[in-house]
Amino acid sequence: MDNLLRFRDDEAHEEPAVTLDGFLDQSNATAVRLEDGEDARQLLPFLDRLALIEIGFSAFGDGRGYSAARILREHGFDGEIRAQGDVLIDQIAFMRRCGFDSFSPETPLDPGDAEKALARWNHVYQHAADDRQPIWNKRHGQ
């Protein structure tokens, strides 16, 4: 896992993630992996006992994982959400906003480039899964 870029203070989760089907088949696993397009809402009853949800990106242009991560956060999941697969530098800022807090890209990211990409935007226009205030709140003193 030397490609792992992580934005959490707790220990990285060691247990390998099981598939969604495997998990729903009454596994006791604490880590699960969603493929593109698998329904994150199926995990909602089990969020309490999950430590890691890995979301696979088979192609960077497939944006379903962004909704999956946000839905998980909107339901209060505070474990690790990891983006794995075809994850590129120009996407990680958006991914952070949708609730991803670790990245395990197929092609390693240059840590300097990643830092630059994440620091780039001082403001955001809309609410998402992070706690950043949209510009329209800042304008009106919120």
* Cβ atoms within 10 Å, residue 136: 11
Q: How many residues bind other proteins (CB under 8 A)?
A: 39
**Site for other proteins (CB under 8 A): which residue of 60, 106, 108, 115?**
60
Dig out the tokens for 88 from the structure: 């590129």
Specify the residue, 12 or 44, whose C-beta has the smaller distance to other proteins: 44
Specify the residue, 39 or 78, whose C-beta has the smaller distance to other proteins: 39
Specify the residue, 14 or 90, whose C-beta has the smaller distance to other proteins: 90
Region 14-33 residues binding other proteins, contact defined as CB under 8 A: none
Query: Does residue 7 belong to the site contacting other proteins (CB under 8 A)?
Result: no
What stretch of H or E contains 20?
Answer: helix 20-24
The amino acid present at 12, given as its one-letter code, is: A
Give every CB contact of residue 35 below 8 A, 6+ residues apart in sequence: 19, 20, 56, 58
